Amino acid sequence: MNIERITPAEALERLRAGAALVDVRESHERVTGFATGALGIARADLEADPRSALPDVEAPVLLICQSGGRSLKAAEALVQAGYRRVASVEGGTTRWIAEGLPLTRPDIDVDFYDRYSRHLRLPEVGEAGQRKLQAARIAMVGAGGLGSPAGYYLAAAGIGTLVLADDDVVDRSNLQRQILHTDARIGTPKVESARIALSALNPQVKIEAFPERVTAANVERLIADADVVIDGADNFPVRYLLNDACVKLGKPLVYGAVHRFEGQVSVFDAGRDRGHAPCYRCLFPEPPPPEAAPNCAEAGVLGVLPGVIGLLQATEAIKLILGQGESLTGRLLHFDALGMRFRETRLRADPHCPVCAAGREFPGYIDYVQFCAG
């Protein structure tokens, strides 16, 4: 199909003579600047219903995009729809700007559209999804091995508020895997070190830092307003406490754990789906004896392993906020770093679970340290 191609200068001349100029880029692209006088109509919308914006098929129509490719495709669609005087602007808005032609820049949050431009191009995210992320509040317990990669990518993704809880301080032995922290911040509370790093990456994210050990006395205060809770803890008492609190408050819990060369990830969402989605206690009704589950300080851990597991946790949290994809609810994902293999175990809700069984009243918090000590 032979579509007329014109320069930006020719387009400006025809625009001033009465032709309609239509910018067929997406709305998030146009906010950074568009040809003065252009109508903003995304290509898909224009092709779906061209006559709502351009009722006269005999009137001259000029189409412009970023560099000329999409406008040419849109022009072909208009010609097929019966429009007779259609032209595409070669070089698009990029060339229009380079030639110094009149440009309109809306009064908008440029940082938002620049920073998240790659998200905005995904139909599954777009501006509506990015605004969901911006309004979201995620509570992350632990600012160590798992919290470091999860925190970095959640902040980069534009989560509006990150609540960090950890009572530990940065130690030199942490730096092999806990990438939020630096040698210069040894001795600093981990949540403060994390706040510095995450704010430097994305100053638009609000960081609420609590240098506290999570206990039954403060857990609800820390997670009550969260949309998603991330378990970055390294001990069983906190894992069971977080599970129970999330079941009681109806919060999805993104679980992660690492040991030597292996890791696990899942989503426990029993609080919102009683009797169907399992909780952590459905998987581990009782904690293993201490000698069977040494922590990282005792058993060691491959430094990159928490990076893999923490990134998977961040991915699950973002999917939950967006309402996209299939979460790990009801599935336990195992990762073997030495074999470079993933395997999956299906999980079922325990109908006799003391915490999440359908119709069961919340039994109250227990002495989790004593419980895990056997």
d(CA 35, CA 97): 8
d(CA 208, CA 165): 9
Helix H, strand E, coil C: the string for 136-154 is: CEEEEECCCCCHHHHHHHH
Both tokens assigned to 124: 């599954």
User: Following CA atoms 47, 50, 53, 57 in sequence, which dihedral angle do they give, to the nearest 10 degrees?
Assistant: 140
Please give the C-alpha separations between residue 67 and each of 13, 23, 221, in angstroms, as whole numbers.
19, 11, 51
Catalytic residues: 296
Residue with tokens 């609540």: 163
270's CB contacts (< 8 A; 6+ apart) are: 247, 277, 278, 279, 282, 349, 353, 355, 356
Please measure the distance between the N-terminal and C-terminal CA atoms of the chain and give it in whole angstroms.
77
d(CA 238, CA 143): 14
Please give the C-alpha separations between residue 51 and each of 46, 246, 271, 279, 333, in angstroms, as whole numbers.
8, 52, 49, 54, 51
Closest CA to 129 of 119, 137, 139: 119
Closest CA to 77 of 65, 91, 92, 95: 65
d(CA 26, CA 285): 51
Residue with tokens 């939020």: 180
Both tokens assigned to 203: 């100053």
